[in-house]
Structure 1
Amino acid sequence: MKRFELLATTMAAEIRSGSRPVGSRMPSVRHITAQHGVSQSTVFRAYYQLEEWGLIRARERSGYYVAPGAALEAQGQGQTPPAARPPLAVESAKVKISELVFSVLEAAKHPDVAPLGSAFPSPQLFPLQRLAKSLGHASRLISPWSTVVDLPPGNEALRRQISLRYLGMGIAQPMDQLVVTNGALEALNLCLMAVTRPGDVVAIESPGFYAALQAIERLDLRAVEIPVDPVTGLDLAALEEALGRHPIKACWFMTQFQNPTGAALAEDRKKALVELLARHDVPLIEDDVYGELHHTAAHPLPAKAFDTHGRVMHCSSFSKTLAPGYRIGWVAAGRYAEKVQRLKLMTTLSASIPAQAAIADYLQHGGYDKHLRKLRGALRTQLSAMDAALLRYLPEGAHWTLPEGGYFLWLELPRHVDAMALHRLALEKGIGMAPGPIFSARHEFRDHVRLNFGHPWSDAMENAVKTLGELIAQGSR
């Protein structure tokens, strides 16, 4: 019996005997690690096993608790089969995803874990020394009045540079509609707060970015999941049906190089999306953090390019392309700019003033477009290496689609391979991955995992994919 199985069996016996009554909190991972002298991944696997047996349940930001009727539920041990996925939009539902997301992210954030499950590209790909030079230069020039002047909507020089980048795409973006934020995630959350109230229904993607699910959960909203095809992107027919059936107050979509599938809507379909939402007077929160990371020659237009009524709130950042630690993002908020700006003032007041000034200086003098060309080339090379390794090592029945941008690859597993079980096994081998259930409000996609190819290829990465292939082959027998 493996160590996690022995640990799970021991704790299961305590629960069945009544030593841990229904509703009581299970010990923390850190406590069990110290008490039994095992690794964190072993404890996580034991808790996952207890959860699959129906003995414990997770509560958001609180931990694991003994489940009601645990002794009865424990009789039917084994994995839960994947839920059947409907072809079109499902009913609106409450979202409970955070505990699962936190457990997966906590287990995979250690530096000795191969970063196939990371949400970020390698910091080696960014011009951090040149950026530091901009930070030093800009900091020396900062006026004491910047603490007031650079409050929302944000640093004027930075907003001017962002506006020029929109103009380069053929989009006339007024500076007064740009609000600088602490990364794109804050921009997205502020937009959601600006157009919804507790209990409202929001359309999201399925599979979709888990932070969107967490935001909906935190704001006490309801979600309608719209299917995303790994090749063609968002299902517009499903969205149209959902708009007719539900009082949808907002949509949160990634139209370009979607996380986790890598899918991108064709420009005619982006235009159709904007027109569809205009007919229903529903705002679009467009998450476009990967738009600059296109692998093709031309920069694809975001849905914002087809917005003539200010309903599209286009959110992006420099975290995935230039400066992940600076946490500088923005939103082109259209008709909602004033409300977003006030929400920013009411919550976090301002993004870092030195960081805003540094990025403004870099955009003007540092050669951002040259850096982006180099970054895109590196990502294309790394995707080719990842694709070749998957072809070498993965067994028959595994499928994936090569994205045209970003740094995520959505892998469909062979039949009978469970993504959560694979995640746990891989973690014990020092390999991280993002299992499919964290990208669904209903914890679906148990037959998918997201892989990150945003790190320079190395022997360690090659060996990680090889080991992953071996684990998948074992699970599909």
Structure 2
Amino acid sequence: MHTHASLPDTLYLRIADAMARQIRTGTLSRGERIPSVRNLAHQHGVSQSTVVQAYRTLEDARLIEARPRSGYFVAARPPQLPEPDTSRPPKRSVSVGISAMASKMMSVAHHPDYVSFGAACPDAALFAQDRVRRAVSRATQRHRATLCQYPFGPGDESLRKAIARHALRMGCHVNADDVIVTSSCLESITLCLRSVTKPGDVVALESPTYYGFLEILESLGLRALEIPTHPRTGLSLDALQLALDTQPVKAILAVPTLSNPLGCSMPLAERKRLAQMVARHQVPLIEDVLYNDLCEDDDRRRAVQSFDTGGQVMLCGSFSKTIAPGLRLGWIAAPGRTERLQRMKSATSGSETVMLQRALADLLTQPGIEAGYRQLRGVVAARMDEARALISRHFPKGTRMTSPSGGFILWLELPGEVDTVELFHTCLEEHICIAPGSLFSTNDRFKRCMRLGLGGKWGEAERRALARVGKLAAELMATSP
């Protein structure tokens, strides 16, 4: 992510972001002429050079194109494949056991000899690496004594204050004293689950869901109750209501913004309804906000916790997808539950390295962070458009595909009876890694599906590999009964 501190840079990114949103939502149609540099500069009250920068950004994202002596036009958009149907998971909770398959996939997902679409991890090139290094260097120089001291407590005060300010962007008014710094978002979720459940309890969650959540449930001896989930609007609250009325649900684990693997984002009214639902039933909701800053829609970055009036929503996040994956720091904001969570944290993993916390606090409070988020969203969106176009051309006819409003994950459903576990092994033979759909559920309902993580390296090798996955899928379809 490249952040920009100066006002002109902020202006050009704001203009580019607003126009990109109009293009992606269809307000500006493909082939439509857009305002000239002079007219748009006059419209926004900015210099023509600022508009030129905005248009260059949109050209780089392949959203507009310049035509000699004619001006700028909206570029052709990739064809849209139909999206998958709402999931239909089993109606009863089940025990979990997927660790072996997940370990196999992750063992190659980060291997340098493989082209990987298996992991949902962003490439280092997407981030301002020099800025991160300078922040770590400053923290090392100013707080080097902390490297020889045991860290104690809920986290460094400067970072907890920065996280509390960050939560305001999601509509949440969090006191810094209610923030606990953790080693990752997954540790945050694990601690929250441990604080409100015991082995054998039922946890409701999206279907399909992130396999890491299933691994946590498995390790804690919890039962998973998968709730039908729409690929655009997320968790079915009607189905969740039925589950709360008929089954002993002790906690809900959800990703309302850009869920993994579907990339769905819950509408604002549904977020408010979900907060009211958990308050009425007195069932804690563990809300993962890891991807919120990657969402293109402002309303859908707002957290469910912002509507919480009864202290039932526990907010979990990190900055590993937007600022610096290598710092490996997460956080919890759960007013009313802080003391218990902190005791559990202290008893298991202790506190995090103060130097890294100070470096992250430095990064979060630098000017231009909003501009950096916008630029990151733009770069990733252009890549996703390109990937969707490749999939439309090279994957079997009848393939269904999600179209998330941000992020770098796509969920595909293949036609016919192709088992993506078999496709996974076939791809491995050609040093390509995908994530088979069976990883994301407690049953085989998604065996024709796969998740593609497109946040890693992206170049000609990756484009060829993505097209090759489509061809291998077609070959498997031709030989399946």
| TM bucket, shorter chain | 0.7 to 0.9
Structure 1 partner of 2:242: 241
Q: Write the letter of the residue equivalent to 1:418.
A: D
- State yes or no: 1:167 paired with 2:168: yes
Compared CA separation, residues 146 and 274, structure 1 to 2 (3 A) = farther
How many Å apart are 1:299 and its aligned residue? 6.2
- Equivalence for 1:371: 372
The one-letter amino acid paired with 1:189 is: T
Question: Quick one: distance in 2 between partners of 1:427 and 1:143?
Answer: 44
Cα distance change on mapping 1:304 and 1:417 into 2, 3 Å: same
Contact 2:151 2:353 in 1 (8 A): no
Listed as ranges, the matches of 1:123-138 within 5 Å are 123-138=124-139
Q: CA deviation at 1:428?
A: 1.0
Aligned to 1:182: 183
Q: Distance in 2 between matches of 1:189 and 1:277?
A: 19
- 310-319 or 138-147: which moved more? 138-147
Give the alignment of 1:325-364 within 5 angstroms. 325-364=326-365
Over residues 70-99 of structure 1, what are the superposed CA-to-partner deviations in whole Å (9 max), with x where a residue is unaligned?
xxxxxxxxxxxxxxx983652122111111
8 Å CA contact 1:108, 1:427 repeated in 2: no
Tell me if structure 1 keeps the 8 A contact 2:87–2:230: no
- Match for residue 260 of structure 1? 261
Contact 1:433 1:449 in 2 (8 A): yes
Q: Which residue of structure 2 aligns with residue 385 of structure 1?
A: 386
| 1:311-335 Cα distance to aligned partner (Å, 9 max, x none) | 1111110111111111111011122
Measured in 2, the distance between the counterparts of 1:368 and 1:151 equals 29
Alignment partners' CA distance in 1, 2:327 and 2:143? 17
Q: Indicate the residue corresponding to 1:4 in structure 2.
A: none
Residues 40-72 of structure 1 deviation map (CA, whole Å, 9 limit, x = unaligned): xxxxxxxxxxxxxxxxxxxxxxxxxxxxxxxxx
User: What letter corresponds to residue 153 of structure 1 in structure 2?
Assistant: P
**Mapped contact 2:89–2:445 kept (Cα < 8 A):** no
With the length of structure 2 as denominator, give the TM-score of the two structures.
0.78
- The SS at the match of 1:216 is helix
Q: CA deviation at 1:456?
A: 5.2
How much has 1:449 moved relative to structure 2? Answer: 0.1
* Aligned amino acid, residue 405 of structure 2: E
**In 1, are the aligned partners of 2:191 and 2:344 still within 8 Å (CA)?**
yes
Tell whether the 8 Å contact from 1:397 to 1:414 is kept in structure 2 after alignment: yes
CA shift in 2, pair 1:312/1:301, >3 Å: same
Structure 1 stretches lacking a partner, 5+ long = 1-84
CA drift at 1:366: 6.1
Given residue 228 of structure 1, which amino acid in structure 2 is its aligned partner?
T
8 Å CA contact 1:393–1:470 kept in 2: the answer is yes
Query: Counterpart in 2 of 1:415?
Result: 416
User: 1:106–1:88: structure 2 CA closer, same or farther, 3 Å change rule?
Assistant: closer
Aligned to 1:467: 468
- Give the aligned residue type for 2:157: E
Query: Partner of 1:112 in structure 2?
Result: 113
Which position in structure 1 is the counterpart of 2:430? 429
- Structure 1 residues 154-193: Cα deviation after superposition (integer angstroms, max 9, x where no partner): 1111111111122244321111111000011110100001
The 2-side partners of 1:89 and 1:444 are apart by: 9
- In structure 1, what is the Cα distance between the partners aligned to 2:338 and 2:290? 19
The runs of at least 4 aligned residues of structure 1 exceeding 6 Å deviation read 145-149
Amino acid at match of 2:310: H
Equivalent AA in structure 1 for residue 427 of structure 2: A
Q: 1:308 and 1:406 mapped to 2: Cα distance?
A: 29
8 Å CA contact 2:279–2:309 kept in 1: the answer is no
Aligned letter for 2:245? G
Q: Which moved more, 1:267-276 or 1:367-376?
A: 367-376
Secondary structure of 2:265 counterpart: coil
Deviation per residue, 1:326-349 (Å, 9 max, x gap): 111101112211111111111110
Q: Please report how far the alpha carbon of residue 144 of structure 1 lies from its aligned counterpart in structure 2 after TM superposition.
A: 4.2
Instruction: Please give the secondary structure, in 2, of the residue aligned with 1:274.
Output: helix
Check the 8 A contact 1:135/1:358 in 2, yes or no.
yes
Alignment length (residue pairs): 393
Counterpart of 2:400? Answer: 399
Hey, what's the Cα distance between the residues in 1 that align with 2:285 and 2:150? Answer: 30
> What CA RMSD, in Å, does the superposition of the two structures yield over aligned residues?
1.9
**Structure 2 gaps, min length 5:** 1-85
Q: Which amino acid aligns with 1:250?
A: A
Q: Shift of the alpha carbon at 1:365?
A: 2.7
Question: Which deviates the most, 319-328 or 110-119?
Answer: 110-119
Distance in 2 of aligned mates of 1:456 and 1:94: 36
Is 2:109–2:117's contact at 8 Å kept on the other side of the alignment?
no
Distance change >3 Å, CA 298–CA 86, structure 1 → 2: closer
Q: How much has 1:223 moved relative to structure 2?
A: 1.5
User: Do 1:232 and 1:264's aligned partners in 2 also have CA atoms closer than 8 Å?
Assistant: yes
Kept in 1, the 8 Å contact 2:254–2:287? The answer is yes
Q: Which has the higher contact order (CA 8 A, sep 6+)?
A: 2
- What's the CA shift for 1:282? 0.2
The letter of the residue matching 1:165 is H
Aligned to 2:104: 103
293-302 vs 160-169, greater mean Cα deviation: 293-302
Distance between the aligned counterparts of 1:228 and 1:159, measured in 2?
Answer: 33
Corresponding residue number in structure 2 for 1:56 = none
Tell me the amino acid that sits aligned with residue 353 of structure 2. Answer: S
Q: Tell me if structure 2 keeps the 8 A contact 1:135–1:354.
A: yes
* Distance in 2 of aligned mates of 1:145 and 1:434: 40
Q: Which residue of structure 1 aligns with residue 27 of structure 2? A: none
TM-score normalized by structure 1?
Answer: 0.79
Deviation string, structure 1 residues 391-443 (Cα, Å, up to 9, x no partner): 11112111102100221000011111111011111111121111001101224
